[in-house]
Amino acid sequence: MRMAVLRRAVFVLLLAVSASVAGEPERKLLDEVIEVIRTRFYDRPRYHDVDLAKLAAEFGPRADKTDAKGWRPLLTEMLARFRASHLTLLEPEIYAALRAELAGKSAPSLGMTVEQVAAGQFFVRSVAAGGPAAKAGLLRGDRLVRIGKAPPALSPYLVPAGGDPGLGGTPLFVLSAERGPATLVVQRQARPSRLQSIRVTPAPWGGRRTLEASAKVLQRGGYSMGYVAVPSCHRGAGRRVAELMTDKFGPCHGLILDLRGRGGWANVANDLLDLFRGRQARAVLARRRLPPLWIKPVVFLIDGRSRSAKELMAHQIRRLRLGPLVGERTEGALLAAGFFTLSDGRTLEVPILEYRVNGVQIEGVGVAPNISVQAPLRYARGRDPILEAGLVELLARVRAAALETSDHTVR
């Protein structure tokens, strides 16, 4: 009897020690995160009305009881309290890809993002032009039923893409390129239909290659229209779009610049704006602006994932009336961010500086389009209502410009 009681006592003691050890690294990481926020968050000492001491008192004991698997959801819940953009945890693979993206370089990628629209429901949000997923035949709106043999929510392939818990909304994911080729079982139509199995093999890819692959000339109503997507404001994006304007798009009657997706460098956003508004002459004493490179009709596309530097652009496009914004209200995520490495190798992105455009706050508000377009994601079968609406608007503007030119010629 005594031996049985002793065994049970030892077992309970071991469980207690195990639980304590399991929670130690999680509590340490939580303390690290709170300290970085305390010293780096842009809104010090208010912290968006969050009491850091009370926050630590609430989440610290919970971290003591969690394990590595449960720590990220716990941290996501805590970061959401700040109601701020650019406050999120980045896995090493995501941070490495982000750095490569902003530098205009490629990194191993499947070339797609996935949005969780509801519990257990994952749909392909975007497919990079020319990328591995596009070449494999994946379409925007495909529902992911399985990744390999596992449902998406349980698959190690699915990695959080670095969205902002504080902004709410549906979470975004990418598929880990480090795990190699992925077999995706997808459903393309809402009604019961045969599932498709699509194998996607990672390859070096990034914003620069997507920009290049997206550039094309479309024909509408007897007119030619240039189209190019700028997936991020990465190094060299402004220069490359300028080259396309004078080369591939030179004979075109109009242009669509697609600004959907993540932000990037503010100076690159300004480089892109200069193509349409002109730029300050670079001479030290110069007080004049050089003429814009593109003076033909132009339409700009935005959506609910256009963020950060793209919102800087969207605001200025509206203010200067450079062309209509077509699509959805932007995400409302415009703060300058810093990146801080945690002891476990992951990176904490933290907003370190408030950013207003002409005194206007865009953070938490976003920029409204001139022409609003609904773009349902579920089972979209690759359809792009925002692009189609943009082409309709551009065609109307091209025709109006042609009539005006004709009228001047007659006179």
The model's pLDDT over 1-11, given as tens digits with 9 standing for 90+, comes to 444 433 443 33
The verdict on 279 and 296 lying in the same domain is: yes
Say how far apart CA 28 and CA 44 lie, in whole Å.
23
Please name every residue paired with 183 in a beta bridge, in sequence order, or none if there are none.
199
Going by the DSSP 8-state scheme, the letter that residue 35 receives in this structure is: H
Q: Which two tokens stand for residue 145?
A: 């039923």
160 and 51 share one domain: no
Query: Rounded CA gap, 258 and 300, in Å?
Result: 6
Query: Which phi and psi (to 5°) does residue 109 adopt?
Result: -160, 155
Identify the pLDDT of residue 23: 59
Domain count, the chain: 3
Same domain, 52 and 132: no
Same domain, 218 and 332: yes
Tokens 């390999």 belong to 148
- At residue 4, the 3 state secondary structure works out as helix
Domain stops at, among 205, 227, 259: 205
Q: What pLDDT sits at residue 279? A: 77
Task: Look up residue 121 and give its two tokens.
Answer: 């429901």
Of the three residues 188, 205, 222, the one that is the final residue of a domain is: 205
Predicted local confidence at residue 179, as pLDDT: 96
Domain interval for residue 235: 207-405
Same domain, 111 and 66: no
Residues near 277 by Cβ (< 8 Å), separated by ≥ 6?
289, 292, 316, 320, 322
The answer for residues whose C-beta is within 8 angstroms of residue 40's C-beta and 6 or more apart is 338, 340, 350, 352
**In contact, 63 and 22? CB cutoff 8 Å:** no
C-alpha atoms less than 13 angstroms from C-alpha of 367 in its C-beta half-sphere: 32
Q: Does 342 lie in the same domain as 217? A: yes
pTM above 0.75, yes or no: yes
Q: Which residues, given as ranges, of the chain have pLDDT below 50?
A: 1-22, 281, 283-285, 409-411
Same domain, 233 and 379: yes
Q: What is the pLDDT of residues 359-397, one digit of tens each?
A: 999 999 999 999 999 999 999 999 999 999 999 999 999
The per-residue pLDDT for 24 is 74
